[in-house]
Amino acid sequence: MNISKKELEEIIKLIAKQISENRNINFIFSKPWNNKYYIALDSLKKLNLNANAVISRELDESHKLTIKNSCCWKEVIDFDENKLDLISKNDTFFLDIKMKNIVNITMFNEDELESALAMKLFENGKNIYLWKETVKTVTGKEPEKYIKKLLSYYEEILSYGINIVDIEEVRNYE
């Protein structure tokens, strides 16, 4: 069977399109509400992503409505223990992960929903993104040992393949 170069390129484009249409990404809106979520939602509106909103049940109703109505989500999913298997089927972007969860991930501790989800994502071979806007930074006034310890946690999660990025860097889910 002879296929021209142009026909082969069209077949490859079609396959790539089908694969990308099946790729979804979850955006996690954890408790408590962080006003930086407004910035995230503004950025997400500009992108045409295959994205799900995963919303903490503990956020107040007005914030939940803001999230639901801000973007054209594929699905809106409650963030709770019973949904971890469903959520862990997609690559996931944590918009605000607490330092406690970073430490839990490095210690394989699943006490919190975020760290339990991270473990399931690892098991499923899914990508994990942290929004660099909400990653804890240092002022330089902290004791040196504190800074070294904090940096060691981030170095460790980076070694697991977790990415710390801007929202716009997930355009490949369009």
Residue 94 phi, psi (nearest 5): -85, 115
pLDDT-based confidence at residue 159 (cuts at 50, 70, 90): very high
Count of residues making up the chain: 174
Q: What is the mean pLDDT of residues 129-151?
A: 91
Q: What is the mean pLDDT of residues 76-100?
A: 96
pTM: 0.84
- Kindly report the CA angle at 138 between 95 and 119, in degrees rounded to 5? 40
Domain ranges of the chain: 24-173
CATH architecture observed for domain 24-173: 3-Layer(aba) Sandwich (3.40)
Residues 6+ apart with CB under 8 A from 80: 57, 113
- Alpha-carbon dihedral sign for residues 39, 45, 51, 56: positive
Does position 2 have pLDDT exceeding 70, yes or no? no
